[in-house]
Amino acid sequence: KTPENVVLHVADVHKRFGGLHALADIDLQVEEGKTHAIIGPNGAGKSTLLNVIIGRLAPTSGAVVFDGTILTGKKPHEINQLGVARVFQTPEIFADLSVLQNVMTPAFARRDGAFRINMFRSVESEAEIRDEALAMLDDVGLVGRREAHAGALSRGDKRRLELAMCLIQKPRLLLLDEPTAGMSRHDTNTTIELLKKIKSRGMTKIIIEHDMHVVFSLADKITVLAGGRIIAEGLPEAVRGDPRVQEAYLGG
């Protein structure tokens, strides 16, 4: 019952925390290659939904289906191995390694994982992985800092590094969790430009975001949550003008 171009289907998900209905009747379809934003006021259920998708929380009922595979019941690392990656919540970098080594590490893990599955598949050499890592660093604007200790980077640069570490894994679905939270306006704009640049790569993205400027710069489609329910969904222009959305945001 999932249309062919839909890569992620959150099917009738409910999540209760004791008496609190944090997610109710959530049916969300994310199309392949698109950037799908999930917005809503504080407490709307955005983080809960993201945690259900990546397997950190089990839904009370309903299921999450990714590319024909039911994710519900799988562990976060199993879901990650299926090609679902998440960035920007806590920067998980190796502070004592160089910037370049940080980007190469997940590529080695990906290669070794693929090797275990099919020993006869040709695998990338270390030199190839290094070249690929340098290309990723170039994309995120960090190639000039490749030999720096990752721990010495600024906060904004750590986020760029984390994005490069994620992209080199070639995820099919990338979940961005408030990518500009706590950033200055300058860093926010740099991040928007970076995300626009990687947008054309065909990778499907879900962006959880509070900042409307970021959302309207990047999203192909927007789902609005409020009080654990989907209150509006559609193209950015339509959602922007929806009175229910304005009411939810302006404290209606």
Q: Which residues bind Mg ion (CB under 5 A)?
A: 46-47
With CA atoms as reference, report the closest residue to 10 among 39, 40, 50, 44.
50
Based on CB atoms, which residue is closest to ligand ADP, 106 or 228? Answer: 228
Residue 14 has which token pair? 């409910």
Based on CB atoms, which residue is closest to Mg ion, 134 or 181? Answer: 181
From residue 29 to residue 68, what is the string marking binding to ligand ADP with x (rule CB under 6 A)? Answer: -----------x-xxxxxxx--------------------
Based on CB atoms, which residue is closest to Mg ion, 102 or 223? Answer: 223
Residue 72 binds: one of ligand ADP, Mg ion, none (C-beta under 5 to 8 A by kind): none
Residue 238 binds: one of ligand ADP, Mg ion, none (C-beta under 5 to 8 A by kind): none
Name residues whose C-beta falls within 8 Å of residue 54's C-beta, 6 or more positions apart in sequence.
76, 79, 80, 84, 86, 175
The answer for 178, left when phi > 0, alpha when psi is -120 to 50, beta otherwise, is left
**Residue 227 CB, nearest approach to ligand ADP (Å):** 9
**Residue 44 CB, nearest approach to ligand ADP (Å):** 4
C-alpha 173/C-alpha 164 separation (Å) is 15
C-alpha 65/C-alpha 4 separation (Å) is 13
What is the binding site for ligand ADP (CB under 6 A)?
17, 20, 22, 40, 42-48
